[in-house]
């Protein structure tokens, strides 16, 4: 009986791994998502009933874990070197001449491939099974991120295709596809978090998260570009990578053998345009000597291999026509002008809209109706207009004028002294402000009520079921089922989220209220400064301004918010619904002023707590987390492998360095 169960589990794992490969690597699924989910659920049930057959690399473990773990450092068996850069065809030709000279005039074959813009990874397989994944680090050693890597569904955990060596290493690039990047930044913008500058930064940051469940949620991908080992199947790079593809690795179809410098030039010209259609970010091409024997003969400089070089593309900028400017209303009433454009391909995505930010930007750019405008992605985050092609301006076209009334409710706009934004003051009767507040309230970093997004928030408001955030706690299954196309399962999911939100800590309740100028970090500081809602309702501007990082604008916003009878009514309804209206006793006991006024930088890998936990301890003891070392830094909390740049700057400025034990003793 036991053998039968083990055989069923093994068969399901093998079949699910095969379907993962077909879906995430070949992009050719052969079963529906529901069939896959049903099969996965069946495996989960078997594994739960028979924990003796647990396997950390089972397909069921792809979702990751919420256990925090510091990364350990691993020495690379073979150094991971970077590539020297070129920016023109003649520079690539010079590289080929140097290579040929280093080979005493011997002819050499060139392979061209994409240079994906992500974070490098080295993965070791033994007997066909993934055993370790390590970041580039400093080239000599990197972080063991195996727990995060196994959540990436395009990376095989066990090889079932082909005749592979007992041990080998495969190197590649961990990427955040454009689609996942845009989704993640929309979430961060909505939660008032700093946006990722580009997919590369997002991928690198994601790979270093201590919570592998969050890594799994973000949707990383991987492409592989080099195979290393003692018994490789072929004597050249091109064949090895094609064989690796047959084993189950995702290898780019762009990899091509280039017989001449003219072919290299054509390859560059082609992919300078075609790369814009790829689902992931690229920043150039890589050219490699194909023969492994020739690679060994050419060897390395102190920093780079002599047998490979990178060609970097120029930054992208496109010119397109401005169709019209729309004015959009946010949940805080801020009016944002948006340029609606003729569609243009930029950094991997079709751009149809670009923010113009505010009236001053429009005036500074001197944009007219129908202008041809230059659009870029600032750091590849959000498209922005950077200029106007004046030679193409239509005769007698008129400048864009900023609206004076709210485009939704018609209320006269106001502009506070010293601020750039125009605002609709009709906070409680302007539809996008109300639906925006509802969507914000249920967000993951606020009350975390699963199942309510932008579309449903608008549907709840339009139906009259939810006219303000407090109405959420009056929802019932019967009410939800009156909505179009709404099913019992969805209703119960939302009601479960509403019930769970009653235990959300006070600091997130403060954030969820949509107090103007109060983001997640400020809400946390205020909550731990005043401890309860009644104190927050009655706090003075002077007292608020005395708290670290709470300036007069934030203080004015908070006091004005709690002087409004409508807001007070909402807060009381939320109190009666059972929301947390004070900081927990345990949190209060753990607070102190031992680090009051101190600016602290965290760097390195820690053994006793995660970086996030140390950041929380710093804030709870009155300190301020800062990202870079300066003369104003009081000390650096340093773990193992502190960043060399931070160490050098600390030594230059005489900034004190404190280890884990010293820090914990400092706050007792």
Active-site residue list: 115
Burial of 222-231, coded b for 16+ CB within 10 Å and e otherwise, reads: bbbbbbebee
Cα angle for residues 137, 85, 300 (degrees, 5° grid)? 65
Contacts of 372 (CB under 8 A, 6+ apart): 319, 320, 321, 322, 388, 389, 392, 393
Quick check: helix, strand or coil at residue 444?
Answer: coil
Q: Measured between alpha carbons, how far is 327 from 339 in angstroms, rounded to an integer? A: 9
Contacts of 552 (CB under 8 A, 6+ apart): 541, 545
In sequence order, what DSSP letters do the residues of 366-412 get, joined into one string?
A: T-BTT-EEEEEEGGGSSEEEEEE-GGGPPTTPPBP---SB-TTT-PB
Q: E strand or H helix at 286, and its extent?
A: strand 282-289
**431, 409 in Cβ contact below 8 A?**
yes
**434, 411 in Cβ contact below 8 A?**
no
User: 348, 116, 67, 54: which is closest to 215 by C-alpha?
Assistant: 67
Locate 551 and state its tokens.
């300036």
Q: Is the dihedral of CA 160, 164, 168, 170 positive or negative?
A: negative
Locate 246 and state its tokens.
């047959």
β-bridge pairing 282-289 and 256-258:
unpaired
Count other Cβ atoms within 10 Å, centred on residue 646.
21
Quick check: helix, strand or coil at residue 441?
Answer: helix
**76, 140 in Cβ contact below 8 A?**
yes
Q: Is the dihedral of CA 291, 295, 297, 298 positive or negative?
A: positive
Quick check: helix, strand or coil at residue 440?
Answer: helix
Crossing angle of helices 552-562 and 565-577, in 10° steps, is: 70
Count other Cβ atoms within 10 Å, centred on residue 80.
20
Residues in the chain: 668
Instruction: Please report how many Cα atoms fall inside a 13 Å half-sphere around the Cα of residue 268, on the Cβ side.
Output: 21
């Amino acid at each position: 009986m036991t053998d039968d169960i083990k055989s069923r589990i093994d068969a399901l794992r093998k079949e699910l791994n095969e379907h993962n490969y077909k879906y995430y690597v070949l992009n050719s699924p052969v079963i529906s998502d529901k069939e896959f989910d049903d099969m996965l659920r069946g495996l989960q049930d078997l594994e739960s009933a028979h924990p003796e057959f647990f396997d950390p690399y089972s397909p069921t473990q792809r979702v990751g874990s919420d256990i925090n773990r510091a990364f350990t450092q691993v020495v690379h068996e073979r150094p991971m070197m970077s590539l020297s850069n070129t920016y023109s065809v003649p520079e690539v030709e010079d590289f080929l001449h140097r290579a040929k000279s280093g080979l005493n005039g011997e002819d050499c074959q060139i392979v061209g491939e994409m240079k994906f813009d992500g974070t490098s990874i080295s993965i070791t397989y033994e007997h066909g099974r993934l055993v370790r994944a390590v970041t580039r680090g400093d080239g000599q050693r990197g972080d063991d991120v195996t727990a995060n890597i196994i959540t990436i569904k395009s990376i095989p955990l066990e090889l079932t295709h082909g005749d592979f060596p007992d041990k080998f290493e495969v190197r590649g690039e961990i990427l955040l596809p454009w689609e996942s990047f845009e989704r993640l930044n929309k979430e961060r913008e909505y939660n008032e978090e700093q946006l990722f500058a580009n997919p590369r930064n997002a991928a690198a940051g994601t790979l270093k998260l201590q919570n592998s469940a969050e890594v799994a949620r973000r949707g990383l991908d991987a492409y592989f570009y080099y195979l290393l080992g003692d018994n490789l199947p072929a004597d050249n790079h091109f064949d090895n990578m094609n064989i690796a593809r047959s084993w189950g690795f995702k290898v780019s179809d762009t990899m091509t053998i280039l017989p001449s410098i003219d072919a290299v030039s054509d390859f560059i010209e082609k992919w300078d345009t075609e790369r814009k259609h790829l689902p992931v970010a690229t920043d150039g091409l890589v050219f490699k000597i194909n023969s492994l024997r020739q690679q060994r003969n050419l060897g390395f400089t102190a920093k780079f291999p002599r047998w490979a070089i990178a060609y970097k593309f120029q930054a992208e900028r496109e010119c397109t026509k401005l169709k019209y400017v729309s004015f959009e209303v946010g949940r805080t009433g801020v009016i944002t002008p948006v340029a609606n454009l003729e569609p243009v391909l930029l950094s991997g995505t079709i751009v149809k809209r670009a923010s113009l930010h505010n009236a001053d930007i429009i005036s500074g750019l001197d944009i007219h109706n129908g202008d041809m405008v230059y659009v870029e992605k600032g750091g590849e985050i959000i498209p922005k207009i950077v200029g106007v092609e004046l030679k193409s301006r239509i005769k007698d076209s008129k400048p864009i004028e900023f609206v004076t009334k709210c485009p939704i409710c018609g209320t006269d706009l106001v502009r506070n002294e010293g601020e750039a934004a125009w605002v609709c003051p009709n906070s409680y009767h302007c539809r996008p402000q109300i639906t925006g507040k509802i969507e914000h309230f249920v967000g993951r970093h606020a009350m975390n009520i699963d199942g309510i997004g932008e579309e449903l928030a608008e549907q709840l408001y339009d139906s009259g079921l939810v006219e303000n955030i407090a109405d959420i706690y009056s929802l019932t299954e019967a009410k939800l089922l009156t909505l179009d196309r709404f099913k019992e399962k969805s209703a119960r999911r939302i009601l479960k989220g509403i019930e769970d939100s009653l235990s959300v800590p006070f600091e997130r309740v403060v954030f969820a209220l949509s107090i103007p100028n109060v983001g997640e970090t400020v809400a946390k500081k205020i909550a731990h400064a005043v401890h309860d809602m009644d104190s927050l309702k009655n706090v003075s501007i002077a007292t608020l301004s005395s708290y670290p990082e709470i300036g007069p604008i934030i203080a004015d916003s908070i006091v004005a918010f709690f002087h409004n009878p409508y807001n007070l009514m909402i807060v009381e309804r939320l109190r009666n619904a059972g929301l947390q209206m004070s900081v927990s006793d345990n949190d209060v006991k753990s607070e102190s002023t031992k680090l009051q006024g101190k600016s602290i930088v965290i760097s390195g890998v820690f053994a006793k707590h995660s970086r996030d936990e140390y950041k929380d301890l710093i804030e709870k003891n009155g300190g301020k987390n800062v990202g870079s070392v300066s003369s104003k830094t009081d000390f650096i909390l340093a773990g193992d492998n502190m960043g060399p740049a931070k160490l050098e700057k600390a030594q230059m400025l005489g900034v004190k360095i404190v280890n884990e034990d010293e820090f914990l003793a400092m706050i007792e």
